[in-house]
Structure 1
């Protein structure tokens, strides 16, 4: 007979112990507030919180010819987005012709040194390209540019 009452005793005991553990392990309200950085403190450190960023995808793709032996051996097609401080989207589109020109110069240089030959998607090849694209964007738009993202990349061989 006592075995029949055991589930009725253990279920409420389990619920109460789970609730007690949740209350005991919950962070205090002050600690939860301290975990979220203040925007003024983040600005002093040079970091912009993720909420203060937006991503602007450039309208058209970039088509880069890869030349070998004075002939086009393949085409590389890229889509780029710019990670920028919130509120700067209009400025990106106003400066887009200059920005595209700067990006094309970087991409042509990368193609001319063989950056799109072989295993061109390896990080040791794309890392310097990303850095050069970011530097070019900062030259045109200033420090509001956080990063340039390679959204799509494709090499079309004959």
Structure 2
């Protein structure tokens, strides 16, 4: 009889611990403001009213160009491996363009190797936090990626980087 009860008790204790952890770690609900969509992101994705979090600095919002802008496409796509533990699950190919004030495209190409290195590091980090798993085109996941890439571009280019555009995103499952 003891051998029969021990697995059942362990099963109930494990299930109870899992449910308790889920209740404790449940994220706070987002209050409904009545406005489902406030604006559209550069790629046309809807952006929720509470798109920025309190931890996000104000300087990662796109800067409006006063005299117009142009785009500096980074020639080669970024290739990012998506891992699950030690296993390669898929490969991402992302093409990026940087919006700059008119006449500043050469400033991007002058430091493109350093810029590509830093942007690639951000994309690796995004992959490591699960940004490219599941529905990787969800607005929240792409917003986080764009903010990180824009923050990095501004660290290198200063206010020359007005915005980041994700031109093309492809995933190839392995």
Shared fold, TM over 0.5: yes
Report whether the alignment pairs 1:48 with 2:65. Answer: yes
Deviation at 1:52, TM superposition (A): 1.9
- In the alignment, what sits opposite 2:149? 133
Q: Structure 2: which 5+ residue stretches go unaligned? A: 1-62
- In the alignment, what sits opposite 1:107? 123
Count of residues paired in the alignment: 112
Any runs of at least 4 consecutive aligned residues in structure 1 with deviations exceeding 4 A, and if so which?
Answer: none
- In the alignment, what sits opposite 2:108? 92
Q: Is the alpha carbon distance of 1:152 and 1:47 closer, same or farther for their aligned partners in structure 2, counting shifts above 3 Å? A: closer
TM-superposition CA deviations, 1:1-45 (whole Å, max 9, x none): xxxxxxxxxxxxxxxxxxxxxxxxxxxxxxxxxxxxxxxxxxxxx
TM-superposition CA deviations, 1:61-115 (whole Å, max 9, x none): 0000001130111000000000011111111001000000110110000000000
For normalisation by structure 1, the TM-score amounts to 0.68
Greater per-residue helix proportion? 1
SS of the residue 1:128 aligns to: helix
For normalisation by structure 2, the TM-score amounts to 0.62
Q: Is the alpha carbon distance of 1:63 and 1:125 closer, same or farther for their aligned partners in structure 2, counting shifts above 3 Å? A: same
- In the alignment, what sits opposite 1:66? 82
The whole-number CA distance in structure 2 between the counterparts of 1:67 and 1:58 is 25
> What is the alpha-carbon root mean square deviation over aligned residues?
1.1
Quick check: 2:64–2:162 contact (8 Å CA) kept in 1?
no
